[in-house]
Amino acid sequence: EMPGISISTSWDRKVLETSLSSIVGSVSSEKAGLPAEEAEAYLKKGYSLNDRVGTSYLEKQYEETLQGKRSVKEIHLDKYGNMESVDTIEEGSKGNNIKLTIDLAFQDSVDALLKSYFNSELGNGGAKYSEGVYAVALNPKTGAVLSMSGLKHDLKTGELTPDSLGTVTNVFVPGSVVKAATISSGWENGVLSGNQTLTDQPIVFQGSAPIYSWYKLAYGSFPITAVEALEYSSNAYMVQTALGIMGQTYQPNMFVGTSNLETAMGKLRATFGEYGLGAATGIDLPDESTGFVPKEYSFANYITNAFGQFDNYTPMQLAQYVATIANDGVRVAPRIVEGIYGNNDKGGLGDLIQQLQPTEMNKVNISDSDMSILHQGFYQVAHGTSGLTTGRAFSNGALVSISGKTGTAESYVAGGQEANNTNAVAYAPSDNPQIAVAVVFPHNTNLTNGVGPSIARDIINLYNQH
- pLDDT digit string (tens) for 157-171? 999 999 999 999 999
- pLDDT digit string (tens) for 112-152? 999 999 999 999 988 999 999 999 999 999 999 999 999 99
Residue 21 catalytic? no
Averaged over 288-305, what is the pLDDT? 97
Give the model's confidence band at 412: pLDDT under 50 very low, under 70 low, under 90 confident, else very high.
Answer: confident
Give the model's confidence band at 202: pLDDT under 50 very low, under 70 low, under 90 confident, else very high.
Answer: very high
d(CA 72, CA 36): 25
d(CA 220, CA 203): 12
Can you give the pLDDT at residue 133?
97
CATH 3.40.50.300 at 14-64, yes or no: no
Average pLDDT, the chain: 89
In the chain, residues under CATH classification 3.90.1310.10 are 14-64
Contact between residue 72 and residue 53 where contact means Cβ atoms under 8 Å apart: no
Give the model's confidence band at 241: pLDDT under 50 very low, under 70 low, under 90 confident, else very high.
Answer: very high
176 vs 43: which has the higher pLDDT: 176
pTM of the predicted protein model: 0.89
Count Cβ atoms within 10 A of the Cβ of residue 62 and give its class: 0-12 exposed, 13-18 middle, 19 or more buried. Answer: buried
Is 81 in a helix, a strand, or coil? coil
Can you give the pLDDT at residue 214?
85
Q: Which of 109, 149, 164, 176 is catalytic?
A: 176
- pLDDT digit string (tens) for 30-89? 666 667 777 777 666 667 666 666 666 677 777 767 776 766 777 888 777 788 787 777
70 vs 459: which has the higher pLDDT: 459
User: Does residue 3 register a pLDDT over 70?
Assistant: no
What sign does the CA torsion over 335, 184, 271, 208 have? positive
* Topology annotation, domain 101-338+358-466: Beta-lactamase (3.40.710)
Can you give the pLDDT at residue 84?
78
In the chain, residues under CATH classification 3.40.710.10 are 101-338+358-466
Can you give the pLDDT at residue 428?
98
Give the model's confidence band at 13: pLDDT under 50 very low, under 70 low, under 90 confident, else very high.
Answer: low
User: Parallel, antiparallel, or unpaired: how do β-strands 72-77 and 360-363 relate?
Assistant: unpaired
142 vs 93: which has the higher pLDDT: 142
Can you give the pLDDT at residue 14?
59
263 vs 219: which has the higher pLDDT: 263
Radius of gyration of the chain measured on its C-alpha atoms: 26
Cβ neighbours of 315 (radius 10 Å): 28
